[in-house]
Amino acid sequence: MPDPQVTVNGRPRPLVGTPTHTNALDFLRGLGLTGAKEGCAEGECGACAVMVVRPAGAGSRWTPVNACLVPALALDGQEVVTAEGLGTPEHLHPVQAGLAAGGGSQCGYCTPGFACSMAAEYYRPDRPEGPDGFDLHAIAGNLCRCTGYRPIRDAARALDAPAPADPLAERQARPAPDVVRTRVDGFDRPGDLAEALALLAEHPDAVVVAGSTDWGVEANLRGRRASHVVAVDRLPELRGFSTDGPIEIGAALTLSEVEAALGGTVPLLTEVWPLFASPLIRNGATIGGNLATASPIGDLAPALLALDATVVLASAYGDREVALADFFTGYRETVLRAGELIRAVRVPAPLAAHATFRKVAKRRYDDISSVAVAAALDVVDGTVVRARIGLGGVAATPLRARATESALEGRPWTAETVEAASLVLANEGTPIDDQRASAAYRSAMLGNALRAWWCEAWGEGESS
C-alpha cells in the first residue's frame, strides 16, 4: 500500500505521520495554506470550506465540505482545492473577482470559505444561466458577520457560466479518484465490508466514521480521541441505491447524494433537505451516520419514522433488518451491537399520499430543531386510514407519536379531528427546557404542527 497522500491545489502532499485526530483544516494550514480559517470548529460557520472531488455519474463534482470536521487521513488519495487554488490576487477566479469587486468581503476572514462554497455551485454542471441559476442554498452554511450578505448574494447571482477551458470545470468530466485503502497506525479505510467488519472485530473500541460531521465535533470541541478510527464512507456495499421494491438507500451515501438520487420522489424528504443543516454538512454527513449517532433531534429520523423506514444492519453474522421505530433505545443509544454497521436504510412503498415536515428553530436555515414533526397520512374517502408521525427534540430519542396516530386513524380528516389530535400531540414526548426552547414552547409547537399543516394544505382563508 503506498504512503497516504492527498493532492492539494494540484500538488501531491504526503499525509505520513499525520495524527489521527488532526483534521483537514489544521493539516492544510500546516502546509502554509492558511486561507481556510477556523471559525467554530464544528461545521457551523463554513470559514474552513474547501472543495473535494466526489463521484457524480460518469464524472465527478467539486463538492464543498467543512475541512474542520474531516480527519486529514480521510483525504488519502483525494483531490482538494482551497481558496488559494482557485485564483491568485493577480489572477482572480471569477467567483473571487465578483466577491472582491462587489464589496463581498469586509474583514475577509469568512471569505475564502465563501469562495469555495460559491465556486462549487459555480461549477455545478446543470446550473442554469441567469441570476436565479445560482442556488443560494449553496452558501447557507457560510456565516459572515460583517456584510449582512447582500453583496455576497449579489455576487453569486451575477456569476456567468465557467469558461470552456476552465481546468476545474474540465476536471469534472473525469471520474473522481479511485478509492484507496488506507492503513496507518490508528486509522483504517477498509476496501470492502468484510474487511471493515474484520477491523471492527480486531478493534472493538474503534470509532466508526463516515462523513465525520458528528465525530469531528466531538474531537474538536470536547477533545475526544479515538484509539482507532475506521472510515466506512467509501465501502461499496454501503453505497448502493435501489428503487426496486422498497427504496433502499446505502448507509454511506451522503445526504446530498441521497437527495440527488431520490430526485424528489419522496416529497417528505424533499421538504427536509433544505432545512437539514447546510450543504457543507450534507455533503459530508451520511444517512447511516445520521441515524447511528442517534441524536434526539436529528431531523432525518422523524421523517424516516413517518415513512416507516427500516435499517439493515450488517455484521459478521449477516444482515438483520430493524424497524427504525425500534432502533433508538435511549439518549444516543441504539440497538447496534459491537462490530455491527448500518448497511442501508429502506423506505417501504407506496408512500403515504400526504406528508409534511415541520421544523421549529431559532433560525430558518442551518439550525438545530427545537422541535421537528414529520407526518405522513393516507386518507381514503375522507377517512384517515393510516397515520405515521415522527418527532424530534421532545424526548431522549426521536420517537413515534403513537397516541396521536391513534387519534387520527379511523377518523374523518376534518378540522375537528385535527383539533382533537393536536391536543393529543401537544402532550407527546417529554420535552425539556434548554437553551434552544422552553418545554412549554416545545409542547405548543407539537400542538400547532397539525393545525398549521391543515390550514396550509386544506384550510380556508390562508393562501400564500
Partner 1 sequence: MSRLSERPDDAVVGLALPHESAALHVTGHALYTDDLVHRTPHVLHAHPVCSPHPHARVTRLDATPALAVPGVVRVLTADDVPGTNDAGVKHDEPLFPEVVMFVGHAVCWVLADTLEAARQGAAAVEVDYEQLPAIVSLAEAIEAEHFQGGQPVIARGDVEEGLAGATRVFSGVTEMAGQEHFYLETHASLALVDEGGQVFVQSSTQHPSETQEIVAHVLGLDSHHVTVQCLRMGGGFGGKEMQPHGFAAIAALGAVLTGRPVRLRLSRTHDMTMTGKRHGFHAQWRVGFDDDGRLAALEATLTSDGGWSLDLSEPVLARALCHVDNAYWIPHVLLHGRVARTHKTSQTAFRGFGGPQGMLVIEDILGRCAPLLGVDPVDLRRKNFYVESQATPYGQVVRHPERLAAAWDQVLETGDVVRRRAGVAAFNAAHPHRKRGLAVTPVKFGISFNFTAFNQAGALVHVYKDGSVLINHGGTEMGQGLHTKMLQVAATTLGVPLAKVRVAPTRTDKVPNTSATAASSSTDLNGGAVKDACEQVLARLREVDAGRGLPWAELVREAYFSRVQLWAAGFYRTEGIHWDSTLMSGHPFKYFAYGVAAAEVEVDGFTGAHRTVRVDIVHDVGDSLSPLVDIGQVEGGFVQGVGWLTMEDLRWDESDGPGRGRLTTQSASTYKLPSLGELPDELHVALLEHAHEDGAVYGSKAVGEPPLMLAFAVREALREAVAAFGPEGASVELASPATPEAVFWAAERARGAAPDHVVEGLPGAVPDRPDPAAPPLHPRSEQAAGAAGEG
Residues of span 142-161 touching partner 1 by CB under 8 A: 142-153
Comparing C-alpha atoms, which of 257, 328, 270 is closest to residue 295? 328
Residue with cell string 413517518: 306
Please list every residue from 199 through 238 that binds partner 1, using CB under 8 A: 217, 221, 223
The least distance separating partner 1 from the CB of residue 418, rounded to whole angstroms, comes to: 12
Please report the DSSP string for 192-256 in residue order: SHHHHHHHHHH-TTPEEESS-TTHHHHHHHS----S-EEE-TT-GGGS-EE-SSSEEEETTSBHH
Calculate the alpha carbon distances from 232 to 165, 194, 249, 308, 340 in Å: 35, 11, 15, 25, 12
- One residue of 5, 7, 19, 383 binding partner 1 per CB under 8 A: 19
**For residue 57, how many C-alpha atoms fall within 13 Å in the half-sphere facing its CB?**
9
- Per CB under 8 A, does 3 bind partner 1? no
**Which of 151, 302 has the CB closer to partner 1?**
151
**Which of 381, 460 has the CB closer to partner 1?**
460
Q: What SS3 class is residue 401? A: coil
- Per CB under 8 A, does 88 bind partner 1? yes
Please list every residue from 118 through 137 that binds partner 1, using CB under 8 A: 136
- One residue of 51, 81, 83, 303 binding partner 1 per CB under 8 A: 83
- One residue of 322, 386, 441, 458 binding partner 1 per CB under 8 A: 441
CA distance 146 to 137: 19
Q: Which residues contact 308 (CB under 8 A, 6 or more apart)?
A: 323, 324, 325, 347, 348, 376, 388
65 strand-pairing partners: 50
- One residue of 74, 75, 86, 426 binding partner 1 per CB under 8 A: 86
Please list every residue from 33 through 72 that binds partner 1, using CB under 8 A: 33-42, 44-45, 47
**Which of 57, 148 has the CB closer to partner 1?**
148
Comparing C-alpha atoms, which of 12, 2, 43, 7 is closest to residue 25? 43
Largest CA distance in the chain: 69
CA distance 102 to 18: 39
The least distance separating partner 1 from the CB of residue 38, rounded to whole angstroms, comes to: 8
**Which of 109, 241 has the CB closer to partner 1?**
109
Please list every residue from 332 through 371 that binds partner 1, using CB under 8 A: 360-368, 370
Q: What SS3 class is residue 123? A: coil
- Per CB under 8 A, does 167 bind partner 1? no
Please list every residue from 380 through 439 that binds partner 1, using CB under 8 A: 434-438
**Which of 309, 450 has the CB closer to partner 1?**
450
The least distance separating partner 1 from the CB of residue 75, rounded to whole angstroms, comes to: 18
The least distance separating partner 1 from the CB of residue 89, rounded to whole angstroms, comes to: 4
**Which of 205, 222 has the CB closer to partner 1?**
222
**Which of 110, 253 has the CB closer to partner 1?**
110
Calculate the alpha carbon distances from 450 to 288, 325, 360, 422 in Å: 28, 21, 13, 6
